[in-house]
Amino acid sequence: MSTIARIQDFDDPAYDPFVSDDDAFGTCDDPYPQLARWREQADVHAFDYRVAMGLYPDVTMRDLPSFLVTGYDAVEKIFLDPQTYSNKVYARNLGISFGHSVSTMDAPEHTRFRKIFQKAFLPNTVAKWGDTLVDPVVESLMDRFTSRGKADLVQEFTHHYPFHIIYRQLALPPEDVKVFHKLAIAQTVVSYDVAHGTEASRKLGVYFKALLDERRANPGDDLVSLLAQAEVDGDVLPEEILVSFLRQLVNAGGDTTYRATSILLTGLLTNPDQLAAVREDRSLVPQAIEEALRWDGPVLIATRTPTVDVELAGVRIPAGACLSVASGSANRDPSRFVDPDRFDIFRERKHRHFSFAFGPHVCIGQHLARVEMTRALNAILDRLPNLRLDPDMPPPRVQGTMMRVPKHIHVVFD
């Protein structure tokens, strides 16, 4: 690793992208009542969701007509028809930061490259990572507070563990981790702060190109080495595609898993009877995870654009419009989920949730996310006896208009 240049911090090293989360994703405690009112009126609305919820408009989408899609059937139809509802609209925002990412592609290009990346995240590969990557990170973070009898599970655990797993996946030099995390998170501010978003993208691009060169020359068993040697139809993956994937990995894999795990713990701790049931019967862990994802999935809104003029749920939408596809609203549609606002790990599961999207663009890292959440929850239940919310501290508040997370989960344990 000494053969590559150190990662470069922002020109203004005092810039802190972590305080920008509220500006980017909002602070709304509960957007679901408003989404329910809109869903009851119609499945599709001709307005900008961000603006309607009091956020700054996305400057990268400002010139496009905007629509909000709220109903389960309409959301499902969009996810299952990528030929009509394109992902290329993401090139306007994610593309600025990440580059030519698989998230910005449609078939056949998307199909070609996704097959290669997906091989790195197959269930059997991910299961091995559970032992070699996930468990050591979870244990080392928990060692810092298990003897104390109290903790803030977000600030001391969930906010860190998925990112540390990615650092190990990439085999990053420890001295680069802090700046790497800053740059990776700053890529998400491009919707309202293009300057810092593009600076982060540029510096990560330089770093990843050097890292790929080093791993091609000295391959290991890390993810960078694996992808650097991956092939498409006998050809190595183009460097542009590789770098864009690595730029996106921290946010797609780390940020969403941190949010989803925090929401899972909030749901269980605010429903002590369900927490007790999971503690006693670990076979309930998978359904607890799926219920948390449905109840308050970390990504409330996906984005698509129609490739042709279409009519969706009786509303005419022009080609090229920006569609805010409200996965979170569909996940609480009462036509599919009984008493949808209630967290209930025992609910009958007749319908899928859309927290990992669906169809050809379903999240590549969904298997790893589930493994990470499973290992984290089991470790918490094993190592924190009689875990409960701290009665002397404020209860957790899941917040966000675009992406959701509680900032604190104060707990005590024996």
In terms of Cα–Cα distance, which of 107, 146, 84, 57 is closest to 412? 146
What digits encode the pLDDT tens for the residues 248-285? 887 777 889 999 999 999 999 999 999 999 999 999 99
What digits encode the pLDDT tens for the residues 161-189? 999 999 998 988 888 888 988 998 888 88
Within a domain: 180: yes
Q: Are strands 66-69 and 322-325 parallel, antiparallel or unpaired?
A: parallel
42-46 mean pLDDT: 97
Query: What's the pLDDT at 3?
Result: 57
* Strand ranges in 14-130 using DSSP code E only, listed in sequence order: 44-45, 66-69, 85-86
Nearest 5°: phi and psi at 179?
Answer: -70, -40
Does residue 67 register a pLDDT over 60? Answer: yes
Query: What's the pLDDT at 50?
Result: 94
Does residue 384 register a pLDDT over 70? Answer: yes
User: In Å, what is the CA distance from 96 to each residue of 48, 99, 104, 184?
Assistant: 21, 6, 10, 13
Q: Which two tokens stand for residue 166?
A: 């990615």
Query: What's the pLDDT at 2?
Result: 43
Residue 168, domain CATH:
1.10.630.10
Q: How many CB atoms lie within 10 A of CB 378?
A: 16
Domain that holds residue 273: 17-412
Does residue 5 register a pLDDT over 80? Answer: no
Does residue 1 register a pLDDT over 60? Answer: no
Q: Which two tokens stand for residue 8?
A: 């470069």
194-201 mean pLDDT: 90
Within a domain: 371: yes
Give per-residue burial for 23-54: e unless 16+ CB within 10 Å, then b: ebbbebeebbeebbebbeebbbbeebbbeebe
Within a domain: 3: no
Q: How far apart are CA 331 and CA 39, in angstroms?
A: 12
Q: Which two tokens stand for residue 313?
A: 């749920």
Query: What's the pLDDT at 146?
Result: 96
Of the listed ranges 109-123, 138-152, 350-364, 375-389, the least confidently predicted one is 109-123
Number of compact structural domains in the chain: 1
Within a domain: 230: yes
In terms of Cα–Cα distance, which of 331, 296, 257, 322 is closest to 401? 296
32-57 mean pLDDT: 96
Q: How many CA atoms lie within 13 A of 221 on its CB side?
A: 5
- Express as a percent the part of the chain with pLDDT over 70: 98
Q: At what angle do helices 161-170 and 177-186 cross, to 10 degrees?
A: 110
Within a domain: 394: yes
Angle at 94 between CA 10 and CA 199, to 5 degrees: 15
Beta carbons of 340 and 332 less than 8 angstroms apart: yes
pTM over the 0.85 mark: yes
Within a domain: 11: no
Of the listed ranges 51-60, 115-124, 173-182, the least confidently predicted one is 115-124
Within a domain: 5: no
Cα 375 to its chain centre, rounded Å, is 18
Does residue 236 register a pLDDT over 80? Answer: no
Alpha-helical runs (H) found in 143-187 = 153, 161-170, 177-186
Query: What's the pLDDT at 315?
Result: 97
182-209 mean pLDDT: 88
Helix (H, G, I), strand (E, B) or coil at 398: strand
61-74 mean pLDDT: 96
What digits encode the pLDDT tens for the residues 20-38? 667 778 889 999 999 999 9
